[in-house]
Amino acid sequence: MYSLQSFRQDLRGNLFGGVTAAVVALPLALAFGIASGAGPVAGLYGAIVVGFFAAVFGGTPAQISGPTGPMTVVMTAMTAGYAAEFPDQGLALAFTTVMLGGCFQILFGLARLGKYIIMVPYPVISGFMSGIGAIIILLQLGPLLGFAAGGSVVDAVRALPGQIAGPQLPTLTIGLLTLVIVVAWRGRAGRVIPSPLLGLIVATIAVEVFFPAADVARIGEIPTALPTLQPITFEAGLLQEMVVNALMLAVLGAIDSLLTSLVADNVTGTHHDSDRELIGQGIGNGLAGLLGGLPGAGATMRTVVNVRAGGSGPLSGAVHALLLLAIATGLGGFFESIPLAALAGILVKVGIDIVDWPFLRRMHRLPLFPVALMILVFALTVFVDLITAVFVGVFIKNLVTIEKLSHLQLGGVVLSDGLRDVEGLVESDRRRLAAGDGEIVLLRITGPVSYGVGRGLKQRVRQYDACRTLVVDISAATIIGVSTLIVLEELVRSALARGAAVKVIAATGAEARALEQVRLRELVGDGNCVPSLEHAL
């Protein structure tokens, strides 16, 4: 029975978990906001809005949501692309796209697509997550060295040699100091003071003490006001691009959130509701777009921190968002002097953590295909775009999977005249067929057969072109698709055209209805539709 003491423990755990998650989320939200080009306050508003509404309406109780690396990468590209064409409306167009992405996520949840969205092959997930990590690192190397962030990965890579040759030493020192702190500060001490927060404090003090006269870039003024409604803006020439970007945000955010939900399940021993989680994330992102916040998703690090601090329910996510709201509405002045190099150092660590190091470490022991697929998706993610990388990766993987399934399913097809290929035949059926001296051939489908089997099946049947009677037995088939029926119809027509008799064995029910779909019964005649092999012979 749930006691008052249990309630107090849960309340305390959720409050402490929410506060701890907010402390971790604050520097990341500011860093992601600056990296996106929308400003630190956009990152803060994104953490507040997505964090609150995804917690309240989502399906993963202990999950903390907010701006993440993958979503920020997409937002950065969108903001730069829209601003290049429409300088006055670029940011409004980007926030409208975020709102559309949230609407798509709600539709995904209502359509119950949650269980399908995370059915992405692991090499594809590994490739695009590692690619996102590489993008974050490459884009933050410039600010770490004391230069403005590049507009794209290609620009950042081109500018890197010159930046390395002439870095701004005070900025680089602060950035590396922060990076060392977030890498080295772990364990029990990291639970008391999260490493990103400690890095910001130390870096800010170090600038004031050691480099007071240096021109080290800071965050600057953070507006202390409630978020305001953003105008919903469309441009006819960008409509298709906006829809594609919104779908990219929706799918990427869904994958990111549901993967984090699986992590939360493992840590807490609970089971999340994927479709409800998508609806909650969609509500959060839709409102974030309307209120000028970055898009967000379930954040693995913040979720784990929340659970370890005692958070177990939606209250912890709501507390995390409300504390960030207090900062945005009155405490922002305490964070304006934070050096941008410190945020770059934190983001470099985020990028390093996103890279799938376990896969990379075992690449030399893995088969060639998954390694090649991962590298392809990685390259497309870094140098083309995320949605192309995922679609190409899934498409290639599905082609290979279909080929493998076709071979497996073809092994479940019995094709024999009683003298050859007798594996899979019971002795009585073998004797009946053998009595025909190779002129009677049985084609028996005993399991599921997909459309990929058709070609191999045709090649095997050609070996028996001299038969006088073809018996097609689909009474034990479990799945018969239209493609399979069309292949069977072609085989039957070919046998009839060369003068062979055709008998069809089909049980009543789905198989019989399937025969009617392609008029196979009409083709062979009712008299040739028999209940068993014995009747056929």
Residue 449 has what pLDDT? Answer: 62
Say if residues 128 and 359 touch (Cβ distance below 8 Å): no
pLDDT the model gives residue 374: 93
pLDDT higher than threshold 60 for residue 5: no
For position 467, what pLDDT does the model report?
A: 80
More confident of the two residues 9 and 537:
537
Residue 148 has a pLDDT of: 77
Tens of pLDDT, residue by residue over 225-238, are 777 888 898 888 88
Mean pLDDT (whole number) for 103-121: 87
Greater pLDDT, 183 or 436: 183
Q: Is 395 exposed, middle or buried (0-12, 13-18, 19+ CB in 10 A)?
A: exposed
Q: Which domains does the chain have, with CATH numbers?
A: 9-355+364-400 (no CATH), 411-536 (3.30.750.24)
Specify the range with the lowest mean pLDDT, choosing from 48-62, 106-120, 288-302.
106-120
Average pLDDT over residues 61-81: 89
Average pLDDT score over residue span 162-189: 88
What is the per-residue pLDDT across 21-38, written as a single tens digit (0 to 9) for each?
A: 887 788 888 888 988 888
Instruction: Return the beta strands (E) in 187-333 as ranges.
Output: 297-298
Least confident of 203-207, 241-245, 317-321, 399-403: 399-403
Q: Do 378 and 128 contact (CB within 8 A), yes or no?
A: yes
pLDDT score of 481 more than 80: no
Question: pLDDT class for 6, splitting at 50, 70, 90?
Answer: low
d(CA 337, CA 219): 6
> What is the distance, to the nearest Å, from the Cα of residue 522 to the centroid of all Cα atoms in its chain?
47
Q: What percent of the chain has pLDDT over 90?
A: 22
> Per-residue pLDDT for 459 more than 90?
no
Please state, in angstroms and rounded to a whole number, the distance separating the CA atoms of residues 320 and 279.
20
Confidence of residue 289 (pLDDT cuts 50, 70, 90): very high
**252 pLDDT more than 50:** yes
pLDDT at 410 over 60: no
**29-33, 294-298, 404-408, 413-417: segment of lowest average pLDDT:** 404-408
Q: pLDDT tens digits for 493-528?
A: 888 888 888 888 776 665 556 555 556 667 777 777
* Residue 383, phi-psi category: left (phi > 0), alpha (psi -120 to 50), beta (remainder): alpha
Question: What's the CA gap between 353 and 182, in Å, rounded?
Answer: 11
pLDDT of residue 531: 74
18, two tokens: 């929410």
In this structure, are residues 29 and 293 in contact, taking their beta carbons and an 8 Å threshold? no
Higher pLDDT, 465 or 145: 145
Of these ranges, 4-8, 13-17, 345-349, the one predicted with the greatest mean pLDDT is 345-349
Mean of the per-residue pLDDT values of the chain: 82
pLDDT at 2: 41
Position 419 scores a pLDDT of 79
DSSP string for residues in 38-97: S-HHHHHHHHHHHHHHHHHH-S-TT--EE--HHHHHHHHHHHHHHHHH-TTTHHHHHHHH
Whether the pTM exceeds 0.85: the reply is no
With b for 16 or more beta-carbon neighbours within 10 A and e for fewer, the 13-31 pattern comes to bbbbbbbbbbbbbbbbbbb
pLDDT of residue 1: 39
